[in-house]
Structure 1
């Protein structure tokens, strides 16, 4: 049964500590920046309404073709100096099985007993390949051991772990993890029901079985597999562990009985990070059993922002611009929010029609969030009155969790504008899309350069500077930043320049795109072929971000979670990036080099959870940015220095990026 798979984990509570509270506070707080860059006043045509809508979480879930089982060690009944853990794990088909052990302290001893076997054997006696090393996941090193057993007949295997007594936290969620991957094509897909992750708002989790094909980046809902049981270990921010069961009977958040999607509803009672570990057991069409699991971090916020009244006032700024003032109550001051809304209008006799979408980053000023409107959008639409905002969305700028969502129309109180006084529309220009440019100040500027930007939690300068000319190195070593904070730091470090283009690695590419989209900076003054060039950027997220968030406390990981880099968070972030910004990005992806005489991977740990092809951090499919310029995929290069060289060291690609870079 599944309870055996997850060990004898019981509900325990780990009291919140001051350290954990400070960690969460610092994780989401903006650093003290020298200057907050001026936000752009974004807009776009109504033809883009469909592409700018909030993402459906069902399209941004987590896929798993392996099982990550938390190991909860308990004192041995026969040897007081030994800790043990046991589980029965089904292997669906004959063939090679890969096992990964992640643990702290003394090495663990694994023993395996075959189905119907009479004795257990040490893993070292069965494995054809084994490695004991640190496992690098998103620049965080975890102690671990890897084993490959080429011959493991299908059936229920008994796996036991022994460890020396000592160094075990009796209140910990887990003492470590055992990851198991077989060759069966079964996989599971889990996702949230909605993105309004607020205290007191019910949340639903969903799980369905999918089928994985040989290329491992193609999934679809499987009809040949069925789910037999889905259990959830839900850990609250305070450390309380709740054992819950997903259902497919039309109850407890399940919309339709027996539709092969299992569901669970729960209501978060405190803000912070919840960890949902979902373990699913199923059976294929031939009656063979398998187990798969996902582990996701779910950020929950306090509902600290509310729409004060359903009325928006228009305040003139110039002859062709007005501010639309959205009245809000903010429980805590100083927050930054991403705002999006559709402006609709009509003339005296016709029906309502779309005028423009409006958005951008904003802070509450005197009880209002402001959206800028260029009145040429009214001329373009042939509308001069009877305005309303629809599909208003106000999100936290760090997690993109919706704090306010209102689909119904909100009247815009605006003085009547005679049609003949509206500025004449000729063509959509930069000011209509981004708002008015700030006055350009060339005093104390160092001219134009190429900014070399590193990625998430990087130890320092990533790029080999001898491959580039006329550059400036961005530096924010060993830090975990949201895209918004990262972008502001790029603007700050480039404030000494009149203009700059960007060559970025990993998260740096998303941060540069975020900067160009939402804030005025030297990027807007650059000239040249390619404004933003990136390598290995997980524009659509990486499962490793959620994994690190889920297991980070156990291993004392310094960089921790990053909501913007999870599948769900990245997809929601992308929903606010317009096409004109994406067109400025030129991106590259890489993966390991395939050779016939060995098992190919960039990094062992990533191979368990990422879909091929991947670079050890970013899957090829997740590195794609719709609407941008795909510069191709190369093999033989990994995300950082792994089995193959680091992708940033490709001198040929770097030379090409250098010669084509905007500055």
Structure 2
């Protein structure tokens, strides 16, 4: 494990600052409705605003054989065979094994529509996903990420315009209200891990969950919104919430000991020994110099809990020219390594006995300030090791290679092996749902047979590659070249599919389950521990569908859950992260095979570049 350090500019940019949950959470421009088949017919009535495109996707057992009809307020019937309506057929969602059909209607008449779905078995349920064309979103967010077992968890909800989806939710709701949009009502339920749900009491735009157990809990909110121009909207939002347990309690003491000429070990005392064996730590180091008392660096990393304490390492070269008597820790976080939820926080703590070197670091010492020094106490055992190594392709054990890495829940070769040359290898661990940390350790376990490698990664493999390079020593550190991680279609800032799968996965045939790390909230917390030097060694690409008349999607199901532009799994806005090398967005390519456009990993030109430019 590495001892991390980063310059104060990372704090000025907000990259290593704990994120504000009011700026993340979840957002939705779709609604979910359910009905039961009676004599082969299921009927749902929905409010539809003026303008836009109405999209109706019916889902359930046997949905590929159903017929769907939508009747306008004036009585006109639409079933996909007219000039303004069309039936789309395809995979229900990416990675699912169910097929479906969707009815699209251009410029629908505003008012109450009746949707009739025929062909289902008696007493079977039918789920209808609706996108009504209005840009107004339903947002839901937490008031705090640090939720521990037994706590009361507070969730807020409100409506928002697309331009405000990344600002404070309260501010976004005020802006929407000023423009005439108002949330009229909402109901909520808590989805349990066994698939059952229980109702939640909502008051105004807030609801509270009491005495929560540790785990990932999913809140589903249904709301009715007045759009301010005479229309009513239905919206359904899904918010996964990570609740942790066994939080270490800081005793408020710190002991500083020298490790070598510049590095200082900071032992933070704990009141007792928790059951967990390690935490993810991050803290600001402040000191006084001629420019005042201000942050001088950020330090952190994954650190073991040992003998009633946790340790951070400070390279005192960050403090050149500062008064040693003024050094203090601020904004300390100890977080869970899998969910990144803050377990313990500390505002400030003075550090006594910090000796500051008289000369400033240069050259190789700067790398040491960023990553620390590899030592015998900085190893961790993988919790997800391969039972047997996959085929080595053209690589040789002990060699220097390019490693091709797949993403979440992969079921086969993600990369076309014939488009890569020289020494390369392929990591495979199929049908898995890993946290970023588990994924990174599994890659490292496989990569230990090589002297060095860089990573070409698809989807969550990019998160795992960046996580590995940031927190652990591996073959990435011994590779020659600047492109340590090359990531394609990676949800660096999350994707709504990661949370929606908890609610809709069983209907859509998705087997691997939801993944908190790839939600908007999980991604924001994870990124707040990724320093600029790790981001700078990462190259990022995104793709989207080729836009055309009456055709603007990669997948007929995920299209209703994602905001354009997107690749069928990851929104372009979520595929890029400040500080990484942004290689742009290319049209005409989707996330995986079986979508409207070819799979993004099949782009020969991009693969040639990744192959030739990747470090080895």
Q: Aligning the two structures, in what range does the TM-score lie when normalised by the shorter sequence?
A: 0.7 to 0.9
Q: State whether residues 104 and 555 of structure 1, in contact with CA within 8 Å, keep that contact through their aligned partners in structure 2.
A: no
Q: 1:416, CA displacement in angstroms?
A: 6.8
Q: Secondary structure at the match of 1:370?
A: strand
| CA separation of 1:375 and 1:605: change in aligned 2, threshold 3 A | same
Q: Which residue of 1 aligns with 2:207?
A: 264
Q: Which residue of 1 aligns with 2:73?
A: 115
Superposition pairs of residues 39-438 of structure 1, within 5 angstroms: 39-50=1-12, 51=14, 52-69=16-33, 71=34, 73=36, 82=39, 87-93=44-50, 96-105=53-62, 112-115=70-73, 128-137=85-94, 139-150=95-106, 152-159=108-115, 163-165=120-122, 175=125, 177-212=127-162, 221-222=175-176, 223-237=179-193, 239-247=196-204, 262-302=205-245, 304-328=246-270, 333-345=275-287, 352-378=293-319, 380-407=320-347, 409-412=348-351, 414-415=352-353, 417=355, 422=357, 424-427=359-362, 429-438=366-375
| CA separation of 1:331 and 1:128: change in aligned 2, threshold 3 A | farther
| CA separation of 1:474 and 1:423: change in aligned 2, threshold 3 A | farther
* Deviation sequence 1:266-298 (CA, Å, 0-9, x none): 324322232211122122333221212212222
Q: State whether residues 296 and 549 of structure 1, in contact with CA within 8 Å, keep that contact through their aligned partners in structure 2.
A: no
Q: 1:629, CA displacement in angstroms?
A: 1.0
Q: State whether residues 72 and 176 of structure 1, in contact with CA within 8 Å, keep that contact through their aligned partners in structure 2.
A: yes
| CA separation of 1:608 and 1:382: change in aligned 2, threshold 3 A | same
| CA separation of 1:555 and 1:529: change in aligned 2, threshold 3 A | closer
Q: Secondary structure at the match of 1:324?
A: strand
1:447 alignment partner, one of 399, 404, 412: 399
Q: 1:95, CA displacement in angstroms?
A: 6.1
TM-score (norm 2): 0.86
Which structure 1 segments of 5+ residues have no match? 1-38, 77-81, 169-174, 248-261
Q: 1:143, CA displacement in angstroms?
A: 4.5
Q: State whether residues 305 and 330 of structure 1, in contact with CA within 8 Å, keep that contact through their aligned partners in structure 2.
A: no
Q: Which residue of 1 aligns with 2:552?
A: 600
* Deviation sequence 1:389-415 (CA, Å, 0-9, x none): 2211111111111111222x2243x44
2:597 alignment partner, one of 644, 656, 660: 644
Q: State whether residues 341 and 358 of structure 1, in contact with CA within 8 Å, keep that contact through their aligned partners in structure 2.
A: yes
User: What count of residue pairs does the alignment treat as equivalent?
Assistant: 581
Q: State whether residues 416 and 602 of structure 2, in contact with CA within 8 Å, keep that contact through their aligned partners in structure 1.
A: yes
Q: 1:335, CA displacement in angstroms?
A: 3.9
Q: 1:198, CA displacement in angstroms?
A: 1.8
Using the alignment, how far apart are the partners of 2:324 and 2:270 within structure 1? Answer: 26
Question: 2:570 aligned with 1:618, yes or no?
Answer: yes
Q: Which residue of 1 aligns with 2:431?
A: 478
Using the alignment, how far apart are the partners of 1:86 and 1:243 within structure 2? Answer: 26
TM-score (norm 1): 0.81
Q: 1:116, CA displacement in angstroms?
A: 6.8
Question: 2:508 aligned with 1:546, yes or no?
Answer: no
* Deviation sequence 1:186-214 (CA, Å, 0-9, x none): 2222222221122222222222222348x
Q: Secondary structure at the match of 2:443?
A: helix
| CA separation of 1:122 and 1:355: change in aligned 2, threshold 3 A | closer
Q: 1:105, CA displacement in angstroms?
A: 4.8
Q: State whether residues 142 and 154 of structure 2, in contact with CA within 8 Å, keep that contact through their aligned partners in structure 1.
A: yes
Q: 1:140, CA displacement in angstroms?
A: 3.0
Using the alignment, how far apart are the partners of 2:354 and 2:20 within structure 1? Answer: 38
More displaced, 181-190 or 553-562? 553-562
| CA separation of 1:655 and 1:66: change in aligned 2, threshold 3 A | same
Using the alignment, how far apart are the partners of 2:110 and 2:353 within structure 1? Answer: 75
Q: 1:530, CA displacement in angstroms?
A: 2.0
Q: State whether residues 198 and 268 of structure 1, in contact with CA within 8 Å, keep that contact through their aligned partners in structure 2.
A: no
Q: Which residue of 1 aligns with 2:391?
A: none
Using the alignment, how far apart are the partners of 1:404 and 1:212 within structure 2? Answer: 34
More displaced, 637-646 or 176-185? 176-185
Using the alignment, how far apart are the partners of 1:346 and 1:654 within structure 2? Answer: 49
Q: State whether residues 461 and 474 of structure 1, in contact with CA within 8 Å, keep that contact through their aligned partners in structure 2.
A: no
Q: State whether residues 96 and 149 of structure 1, in contact with CA within 8 Å, keep that contact through their aligned partners in structure 2.
A: yes
Q: 1:160, CA displacement in angstroms?
A: 5.3
| CA separation of 1:396 and 1:140: change in aligned 2, threshold 3 A | farther
| CA separation of 1:86 and 1:301: change in aligned 2, threshold 3 A | farther
Using the alignment, how far apart are the partners of 1:523 and 1:330 within structure 2? Answer: 37
Q: State whether residues 214 and 244 of structure 2, in contact with CA within 8 Å, keep that contact through their aligned partners in structure 1.
A: yes
* Deviation sequence 1:372-398 (CA, Å, 0-9, x none): 1223233x1423235432211111111
* Deviation sequence 1:217-246 (CA, Å, 0-9, x none): 999643132221122222345634114334
| CA separation of 1:530 and 1:125: change in aligned 2, threshold 3 A | closer
Q: State whether residues 59 and 507 of structure 2, in contact with CA within 8 Å, keep that contact through their aligned partners in structure 1.
A: no
Which structure 2 segments of 5+ residues have no match? 379-395
Using the alignment, how far apart are the partners of 1:308 and 1:133 within structure 2? Answer: 54
Q: Secondary structure at the match of 1:156?
A: strand
Q: Secondary structure at the match of 2:557?
A: helix
Q: 1:90, CA displacement in angstroms?
A: 0.7
Using the alignment, how far apart are the partners of 1:612 and 1:46 within structure 2? Answer: 35
Using the alignment, how far apart are the partners of 2:573 and 2:221 within structure 1? Answer: 24
Q: State whether residues 540 and 565 of structure 1, in contact with CA within 8 Å, keep that contact through their aligned partners in structure 2.
A: yes
Q: Which residue of 1 aligns with 2:465?
A: 512
Using the alignment, how far apart are the partners of 2:470 and 2:148 within structure 1? Answer: 27
Q: State whether residues 90 and 556 of structure 2, in contact with CA within 8 Å, keep that contact through their aligned partners in structure 1.
A: no
Superposition pairs of residues 564-583 of structure 1, within 5 angstroms: 564-583=517-536
Q: State whether residues 306 and 328 of structure 1, in contact with CA within 8 Å, keep that contact through their aligned partners in structure 2.
A: yes
Using the alignment, how far apart are the partners of 2:486 and 2:21 within structure 1? Answer: 28
* Deviation sequence 1:462-485 (CA, Å, 0-9, x none): 111111121011111111111111
Using the alignment, how far apart are the partners of 1:133 and 1:554 within structure 2? Answer: 15
Q: Which residue of 2 aligns with 1:13?
A: none
| CA separation of 1:183 and 1:375: change in aligned 2, threshold 3 A | closer
| CA separation of 1:203 and 1:377: change in aligned 2, threshold 3 A | same
* Deviation sequence 1:126-160 (CA, Å, 0-9, x none): 893224543133x2334533112346421122445
Using the alignment, how far apart are the partners of 1:345 and 1:95 within structure 2? Answer: 56
